[in-house]
């Protein structure tokens, strides 16, 4: 159309992100047909053409030629005399196609149409973005940190769409600055005040599952299945895997040669400890594997109350509980049971509960030992000084003094 400035004013809509060309053409046509209806009360005799390659717009008015004085509807008919002003050899019964310029609608109508078009496109873009990411829930997204706020981080994906990573969905050791590359899983997509909010997560178990899929081809091929994942983000995770091929060790395949496969996952999760265990439907065996590296002596299950009594040698209790209690907590989640740890007593040797030393040792020091699973004198003495210093937050001098007090009871 010969309407330079007006066509240019609509050109910015041609390549709008998230909207395919066919939909864009349909929206443009709808807007201009609405303009025609306002001006002519009908759009029946008009053709609106949006050029597929350039995106330019053409509007044509189609009318039938009738004898002079017989025009009943000027929108559908044109007199022979008027038609011959356009083309001298026109005859009655033929059709005249005449171009309608955008300027003919007037500046106000065009500005209104432009506003309408902008509104429709923004709505379409929101709907398309919502549908696109609704189908990608549970998928890992790579993006770039664009803005950092107190409670969340804005991330831009490859197409410039805005995604949100709440601080509550970040690993405690996560620290990002603007421009950093980041990976996260799409947690949920919701509409908020008419706009889609795409929320990401780095602490969801499914994020760890997707990372395993990216590193272990056997999982994507269906040879190995991830049965269950439990996590204490940034601290520890347990992943139960199963192989459908007897020739393939699922744990070995997931860890990789010299840990080659799992090292990348551990780095991505800020050095989170990941225990990969062989899944089994035998609940006792699953609990035994889940409590690794501790060696379990025996297990008594109460299916009704969903509790498991686990008996261990005194020197294995702290290993079963783990730092901060993470090991036993995750083992319980993996097995779907509450796990109670019991220390096996040695009939040849007596033992004394740590609380019996409350008059000689400060309570907060006793609590440090209890937190690592040492609640009797022998459970403390069975560990080396270096081990106790490493696992607790106590100084070596304090540990030596406690060991001296405890040892004196057995001399």
**pLDDT(382) > 90:** no
Contact between 59 and 1 under an 8 Å Cβ cutoff? The reply is yes
- Mean pLDDT across the chain: 86
383-392 pLDDT, tens digit per residue, is 889 888 888 8
Residue 160 lies in a domain: yes
**Burial class of residue 406 (count of CB atoms within 10 Å of its CB; 0-12, 13-18, 19+):** buried
At 10 the pLDDT is 52
In this structure, are 94 and 81 located in the same domain? yes
Distances (CA, A) of 132 to 22, 136, 186: 17, 7, 11
More confident residue, 267 or 35: 267
Q: Check if the beta carbon of residue 208 is closer than 8 Å to that of residue 231.
A: yes
Residue 64 placed within a domain: yes
Q: What does the pLDDT look like over 301-353, one tens digit per residue?
A: 988 889 999 988 887 888 898 888 899 999 999 999 999 888 875 443 567 88
State the burial class of residue 186 (Cβ atoms within 10 Å of its Cβ: 0-12, 13-18, 19+): buried
List the beta bridge partners of residue 60: 47, 99
The CATH number that applies at residue 183 is 2.40.50.140
Q: Is the pLDDT of residue 231 over 50?
A: yes
| Residue 240 Cα distances to 120, 228, 229, angstroms | 49, 5, 6
Contact call for residues 352 and 376 (beta carbons, < 8 A): yes
Q: Looking at the structure, do residues 186 and 111 belong to the same domain, yes or no?
A: no
Least confident of 90-94, 343-347, 397-401: 343-347
Average pLDDT over residues 394-406: 91
Lowest mean pLDDT among 20-29, 64-73, 264-273, 299-308: 20-29
> Can you give the pLDDT at residue 5?
44
Tokens of 216: 């272990």
In this structure, are 63 and 15 located in the same domain?
A: yes
For residues 265, 267, 268 and 274, what is the CA-based torsion angle, rounded to 10 degrees? 50
Q: Is the residue at 242 inside a domain?
A: no
- Tokens (6 digits) for 279: 């899944």
Pairing state between β 57-66 and 46-50: antiparallel
User: Do 52 and 20 touch, CB atoms closer than 8 A?
Assistant: no
Task: Using alpha carbons, select from 245, 238, 184 the residue that is nearest to residue 219.
Answer: 245
Q: What average pLDDT score do residues 209-220 get?
A: 95
User: Do 98 and 28 share a structural domain?
Assistant: yes
Do 176 and 147 lie in a common domain? yes
Nearest to 174 by CA among 262, 263, 273, 269: 269
333, two tokens: 């989640």
In a domain, 389, yes or no: yes
* Range from 69-83, 236-250, 335-349, 397-411 carrying the lowest mean pLDDT: 335-349
- Tell me which of 202 and 349 has the higher pLDDT: 202
3-state secondary structure of 190: strand
Task: Let me know whether 127 and 50 are in one domain.
Answer: yes
How many CA atoms lie less than 13 Å away from 394 in the CB half-sphere?
Answer: 27
Residue 232 — very low, low, confident or very high, per pLDDT cuts 50/70/90?
Answer: very high
Q: Is 139 exposed, middle or buried (CB count within 10 Å of its CB: 0-12, 13-18, 19+)?
A: exposed
Q: Do 171 and 202 form a contact (C-beta atoms < 8 A)?
A: yes
Q: Is residue 36 part of a domain?
A: yes
Among 345, 344, 342, 343, CA closest to 309: 342
31 and 77 in a common domain: yes
Residue 61 β-bridge partners: 46, 98
- Whether residues 39 and 26 share a domain: the answer is yes
Whether 288 is in a domain gets the answer: no
107 and 58 in one domain?
yes
Asked which of 116, 131, 146 is the last residue of a domain, the reply is 131
Query: Do residues 22 and 119 both lie within one domain?
Result: yes
pLDDT in tens, 36-69: 888 888 888 888 877 665 556 788 888 888 888 8
Q: In this structure, are 15 and 116 located in the same domain?
A: yes
What CATH number does the domain containing 77 carry? 3.30.1480.10
**Nearest by Cα to 369 from 389, 386, 351:** 389
In the numeric block, which tokens belong to residue 233? Answer: 């983000």
Q: In this model, does residue 16 exceed pLDDT 80? A: no
Nearest CA to 211 among 171, 248, 172?
171
Does 26 fall in a domain?
yes
Of 28-42, 250-264, 330-344, which range is least confident?
28-42
Domain count, the chain: 3
Residue 390 within a domain: yes
> 162-180: per-residue pLDDT in tens?
999 999 999 999 999 999 9
How many whole angstroms from its chain centre is CA 325? 28
Structure-model confidence comparison of residues 120 and 167, the more confident one = 167
**214 vs 101: which has the higher pLDDT:** 214
Across 107-116, 150-159, 339-348, least confident range? 339-348
Give yes or no: residues 100 and 84 share one domain: yes
Task: Assign residue 380 a region (left: φ > 0; alpha: ψ between -120 and 50; beta: otherwise).
Answer: alpha
DSSP string, 378-402: HHHHTS-HHHHHHHSS--HHHHHHH
Domain that holds residue 368: 354-408
Give the end of a domain, one of 157, 186, 201.
201
Q: What global pTM score does this model have?
A: 0.65
CA–CA separation, 203 and 149 (whole Å) = 19
Beta bridge partners of 164: 154, 199
Give the distance, in angstroms, between the CA of residue 42 and the centroid of all CA atoms in the same chain: 49
Specify the pairing of strand 273-278 against strand 296-302. unpaired
Domain termination residue (choose one: 98, 131, 164) = 131
């Amino acid at each position: 159309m010969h309407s330079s400035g007006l066509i240019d004013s609509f050109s910015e809509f041609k390549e709008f992100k998230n909207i395919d060309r066919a939909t864009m053409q349909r929206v443009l046509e709808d807007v201009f047909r609405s303009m025609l209806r306002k001006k002519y009360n009908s759009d029946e005799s008009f053709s609106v053409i949006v050029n597929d390659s350039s995106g330019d717009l053409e509007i044509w008015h189609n009318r039938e030629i009738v004898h002079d004085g017989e025009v009943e509807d000027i929108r559908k008919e044109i007199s022979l005399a008027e038609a011959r002003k356009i083309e001298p050899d026109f005859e009655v019964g033929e059709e005249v196609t005449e171009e309608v310029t955008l300027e003919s609608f007037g500046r106000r109508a065009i500005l209104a149409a432009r506003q309408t078009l902008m509104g429709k496109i923004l709505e379409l873009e929101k709907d398309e973005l919502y549908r696109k990411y609704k189908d990608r829930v549970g998928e890992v997204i790579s993006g770039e940190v664009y803005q950092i706020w107190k409670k969340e981080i804005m991330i831009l994906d490859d197409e410039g769409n805005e995604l949100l990573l709440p601080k509550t969905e970040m690993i405690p050791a996560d620290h990002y600055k603007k421009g950093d590359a980041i990976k996260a899983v799409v947690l949920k997509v919701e509409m908020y005040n008419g706009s889609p909010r795409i929320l990401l997560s780095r602490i969801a178990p499914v994020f760890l599952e997707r990372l395993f899929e990216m590193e272990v081809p056997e999982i994507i091929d269906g040879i190995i299945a991830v049965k269950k994942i439990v996590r204490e983000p940034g601290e520890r995770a347990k992943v139960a895997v199963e192989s459908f091929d007897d020739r393939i060790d699922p744990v070995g395949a997931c860890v990789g040669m010299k840990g080659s496969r799992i090292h990348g996952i551990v780095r991505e999760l800020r050095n989170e400890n990941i225990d990969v265990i062989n899944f089994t439907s035998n609940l006792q065996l699953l609990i035994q594997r889940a409590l690794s590296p501790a060696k379990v002596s025996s297990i008594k299950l109460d299916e009704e109350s969903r509790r498991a009594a686990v008996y261990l040698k005194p020197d294995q209790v702290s290993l079963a509980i783990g730092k901060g209690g993470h090991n036993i907590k995750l083992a319980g989640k993996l097995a779907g049971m509450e796990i109670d740890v019991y220390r096996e007593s040695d009939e040849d040797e007596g033992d004394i509960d740590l609380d019996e030393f409350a008059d000689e040792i400060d309570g907060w020091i006793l609590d440090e030992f209890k937190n690592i699973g040492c609640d009797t004198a022998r459970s403390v003495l069975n560990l080396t000084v270096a081990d106790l210093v490493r696992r607790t937050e106590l100084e070596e001098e304090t540990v030596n003094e406690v060991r001296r007090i405890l040892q004196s009871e057995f001399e």
